[in-house]
A and B are shown apart, each in its own frame.
Chain A
Amino acid sequence: MTLFDKYSSLFLSGFGYTIMASLLALVASLVLGTVFALLQLSKKKGWAMVGNGYVQFFRNVPLLIITLFFYLAVAKVIKMTGFAAGTIALSLYTSAFIAECVRAGILSVDTGQMEGALANGLSYGQAMRKIILPQAFRIAIPSLGNQFINLVKNSSILAFVGGLDLMYQGNIVAANSFDTFTAYMIVGAFYLVLTLPLSYFMQYLEARTQGNQ
């Protein structure tokens, strides 16, 4: 553990950046994902196509390429750090998966509820916001949780663009100490501190909802 003592400040600062990137991307991708899920379900063909195109695009293109695009091409026009470029790419990428989860959630809410709400004089937007979406999110919680775990893991992409995250610092420690074995073991342990509790919590929720059925 002497390696950890020697480089603890690097590991801890990387851990902080990883958490920050994950939280920022979580909020952004939840918002974007919901918007694009609604677009996909829109009755207007044009909007639905935009929604579908967005989701299909980001689901089929590597996150690394999207990150490089922001870091190398977009950053020339709009200045941004590697951390920002990585976090934006991560948000867009994850939002496509979240859109799928939310869409599935909305579709599994009984269509009668929408009709009922509309019959009671609520507008489409009101019905969506007050009646359908809350239920859809509740249904989608397990799959959303898995996407969040993926998001935390995928934040390691920041290492490719000098994003100061855990993996970036791990590479620096590995390159400086030449003890790659221990360096990456420590990095792995830090990621597990974030992802394992989440994963068990999701399994617990899943088991509970299955028990309720």
Chain B
Amino acid sequence: MNDFFAALSADNLSYLLQGLGVTVGVSIFSIIISLIVGSFVGIAMFEKIPYFSSLIGTLNNIVRNLPLLLIIFFTYFSLPQVGIRLPIFWSTVVAMSFFEAAMLSEIIRGGLESIDKGQFEGARSTGMSNKQTMLYVIMPQAYKKMIPPLISQLISLVKDTSLASGIVLADLTYRGQVVYAQNSHYIVPILIFMTFAYFVVNYLLSLLAKYFDRKLA
């Protein structure tokens, strides 16, 4: 128990909490970007535009089937080799968004496809345009159906930001490792603390999702 208090001394705690801030920051930017990009890609796949949709689908499949860790390393270590240099925070956001957009687009496509085809025709026959049908009739329903898988994917996103500790992003996981590098008695207390912190963030995220879910209903 003494180890626990020593490991979470005021200095260490504030150092770790700043790391939690980095984790949350990376998560928020990645969630926003990947939701936007993922929606476009998902719709492009759903629309069954000849050639284009299947091409996008194939590219999407390739991205989805790679480990995120590889994409994070590649973005930070390999892209500079071809002249694309990003600061570590943005490099992580780009890698996360790229990967998660591909994951989310698959969920969004699936959600759209689960909507009854008759609704399209119904909306169209009331004189709505294609875009209007999509925006006011299909998307709201589709989002409703997608919410549970979307949430679990976004929770995965938050958890997966921990992988960026491998490229020395000073997030919660990395800082935890720095703290227990000082003293190995801190390992278990710090791991427990990190578990708790990620759990709380993800729990809040799922509460937020439930709130939106109720509002949409």
Do chains A and B stick together as partners? yes
Which one of B2-10, B123-131, B195-203 contacts A? B195-203
**A52: CB under 8 A from chain B?**
no
Interface check A156, CB cutoff 8 A = yes
Interface residues on B, range: 35 or more
Please tell me if A184 contacts chain B, counting CB pairs below 8 Å: yes
Q: A180-B77, A181-B78 are in contact. Are A64 and B165 (CB under 8 A)?
A: yes
Instruction: List residues of chain A with CB under 8 Å of any chain B CB.
Output: 57, 59-65, 68-69, 72-73, 149, 153-157, 159-160, 167, 170-171, 174, 179-181, 184-185, 187-188, 191-192, 195-196, 198-200
Contact B66 A188 (CB under 8 A): yes
Which of B67, B180, B203 contacts A60 (CB under 8 A)?
A: B203
Report chain A residues within 8 Å CB of B166. 159-160
In the complex, are the beta carbons of B195 and A65 less than 8 A apart? Answer: yes
Within 8 A of A (CB), among B95-152: 152
- 21 interchain pairs (CB within 8 A)? A57-B199, A60-B203, A61-B195, A62-B159, A62-B162, A62-B194, A62-B198, A63-B159, A65-B194, A69-B191, A155-B67, A159-B69, A167-B70, A174-B73, A180-B73, A187-B70, A188-B66, A191-B65, A191-B66, A191-B70, A199-B65
Contacts of A68 in B (CB 8 A): 177, 191
Q: Are the CB atoms of B67 and A62 closer together than 8 Å?
A: no
- Known contacts A61-B199, A199-B61, A192 near B67 by CB under 8 Å: no
Q: Which residue of B has the minimal Cβ distance to A63?
A: B159
Where the two chains meet, the residues of B that have a C-beta atom closer than 8 Å to any C-beta of A are: 61-62, 64-70, 73-74, 77-78, 81-82, 152, 155, 159-160, 162-163, 165-166, 173, 177, 180, 187-188, 191, 194-195, 198-199, 202-203
With A60-B203, A65-B162, A180-B81 known as contacts, the answer to whether A73 contacts B70 (CB < 8 A) is no
What total of A-B pairs shows CB separation below 8 Å?
A: 100
A60 with B69: in contact, given A73-B188, A181-B81, A199-B61 (CB under 8 Å)?
Answer: no
* CB-CB nearest in chain A for B74: A184
> Contact: B159 with A61, CB < 8 Å?
yes
Given contacts A64-B163, A65-B162, A68-B191, contact A59 B155 (CB under 8 A): yes
| CB-defined contacts of B78 to chain A, threshold 8 Å | 180-181, 184-185
CB pair A192 B173 closer than 8 Å: no
Task: Give A198 to B78 CA distance when docked, in angstroms.
Answer: 27
Residues on A with C-beta less than 8 A from B191 are: 65, 68-69, 72-73
A185 to B74, CA, bound (A): 8
Q: Which one of B62, B67, B77, B180 lies within 8 Å of A167 (CB-CB)? A: B67
Residues from chain B with Cβ under 8 Å of A187 in the complex = 70
Given the known A-B contacts A181-B82, A187-B70, A191-B66, are A64 and B61 also in contact in the complex, defined by CB atoms under 8 Å?
A: no
Chain A contacts for B188, CB-based, 8 A: 73
B199 / chain A contacts, CB cutoff of 8 Å: 57, 60-61
A179–B78 Cα distance when bound, in Å, is 8
